[in-house]
Each structure stands twice: as C-alpha cells, then as structure tokens.
Amino acid sequence: MKRIIAATVQNRSGVLNRVTGLLQKRQFNIESISVGRTETEGVSRMTFVVEVADNQKLEQLMKQLNKQVDVLKVSDITDKAIVARELALIKVMSNGQVRNEIQGMIEPFRASVIDISKDSLTVQVTGKTDKIEALIDLLRPYGIKELARTGLTAFLRGHQPQVTELAPYSLLK
C-alpha cells in the first residue's frame, strides 16, 4: 500500500542520507521524496511516498524514522485531510501544427506552457499525483522528450474534520 509520510527534521548535514540510508537498509521502497525548508529556521520538511506491504511494516518505518536523533516528528498523513501537490515539467515534441492542440488540451489542467522551441514545448503542471499522471498520459501520444517531477509535498489542512466526518477516501488509493 502507498502511504504519504511527513517528517520534520533538523537541517543538518547528512540528514537526507541518514533517512534514505535507513529506508534502504530496512528495505523500504521510496516512490518519491521531497525536501525543503520550513517556517522554522534550521528545520526542514521531508515528504515521502512509500510502498509498504502492511501495517506492521508501516509501523516499523515510522518507528525507525523516529529513532533518528535528527528527526523531530514523523506522521503518516495519508488518511488525514491534507493538501498535497507535486510539480512536473514535461517536454513534448511539437511542431506548429499540434502546438495549439496541446495548448487546448492542457488548459483544463491549469497547466501552462513555459518554454517553446522549434520542435518542442515544455508544460508545467502542479497538482495531485493522479492529475499529473492523467496529463502525462494525454501528452504521451505526442512524444515526451523529457519529464521531471518534484515528488509530492504535503501537509495537513488547517481544519481537520472529526473522525465521523471523514469519508473513506484516500488520495492514493
């Protein structure tokens, strides 16, 4: 099962290596990882999307992360009310003929063209993982020359509904 794990860590040298090394040592599969600074100086935030076999493995993952001295807090936010976004840059083959066609196609995704050359254009899209995947699928027939994704970054919404209000819906299911 796919889980979104958010961790705040001390921004010290080697902390990324510590965390990814740990996941590798314990045989966890990282699908994506994104890291960046937070509102607090010296604290970074990591968001992982990991594939784990079951709850027991998930618990191990969280505990092992928590054990690291530089890791401040770890939470599995998969089933919480969250905002989650990923950014993708997609370089698509295009000549003058299909350019407009692509422009029209990406509009509903609120994606934008950020670079154009003689035979390609680059689309920037932001959103949840499934939205980005849908757009990539749509663009694939034109020929994708290059693709770069940031990986998911996420945190909890300002208001968390009570447990009873939560629909049995998960972003990544």
Partner 1 sequence: MKVEAENKVDTSTQPKTGADLFVESLIKEGVDTLFGYPGGAVLPIYDALYKAQKSLNHVLSRHEQGSIHAAEGYARVSGKPGVVIATSGPGATNLVTGIADAMMDSLPLVIFTGQVARNVIGTDAFQEADVIGITTPITKHNYQVQSLSDLPKIIKEAFHIASTGRKGPVLVDIPKDISASLFEEVNDTDFHLPGYQPTTKPNPLQIKKLADALAKAKKPVLLAGAGVLHGGASTELKTFIEKHSLPITTTLLGLGSYPGEAELSLGMAGMHGTYAANTALYECDLLINIGARFDDRLTGNLAHFAPWATVAHIDIDPAEIGKNIETHIPIVADSKEALKALLSNTEESPDHQEWLTELKRFKQDYPLWYNNPKNEISPQWLIEAIHKVTKGDAIVTTDVGQHQMWAAQYYTFTKPDRWVTSGGLGTMGFGFPAAIGAQIAAPDETVVAIVGDGGFQMTLQELSILQEKGLPVKVIIVNNQALGMVRQWQESFYEKRYSESLLTTQPDFVKLAESYEIRGMKIDNQEDLIHALPEVFSYDGPVLLDCRVRKEENVYPMIAPGKGLNQMIGVKP
Q: How far apart are CA 83 and CA 81, in angstroms?
A: 7
Instruction: Give the nearer residue to partner 1 in terms of CB position, either 56 or 97.
Output: 56
Residues at the site binding partner 1, with contacts judged by CB under 8 A: 9-10, 13-14, 17-18, 21-22, 25, 56, 59-60, 63-64, 66-72
Q: How far apart are CA 168 and CA 104, in angstroms?
A: 34
Q: How far apart are CA 21 and CA 103, in angstroms?
A: 42
Q: How far apart are CA 137 and CA 89, in angstroms?
A: 14
Are 74 and 7 contacting, i.e. CB atoms less than 8 angstroms apart?
yes
We find the least distance from the C-beta atom of residue 25 to partner 1, in angstroms, to be 5
Instruction: Give the nearer residue to partner 1 in terms of CB position, either 11 or 120.
Output: 11
We find the least distance from the C-beta atom of residue 54 to partner 1, in angstroms, to be 12
We find the least distance from the C-beta atom of residue 29 to partner 1, in angstroms, to be 18
We find the least distance from the C-beta atom of residue 10 to partner 1, in angstroms, to be 6
Q: Where are the alpha helices (DSSP H) in 7-150?
A: 15-25, 55-67, 96-106, 129-139
Q: Which amino acid is at 113?
A: V
Residue that the structure tokens 């996941």 belong to: 23
Q: How many residues does the chain have?
A: 173
We find the least distance from the C-beta atom of residue 58 to partner 1, in angstroms, to be 11
Instruction: Give the nearer residue to partner 1 in terms of CB position, either 70 or 133.
Output: 70
Instruction: Give the nearer residue to partner 1 in terms of CB position, either 63 or 140.
Output: 63
Instruction: Give the nearer residue to partner 1 in terms of CB position, either 59 or 107.
Output: 59
Q: Which amino acid is at 114?
A: I
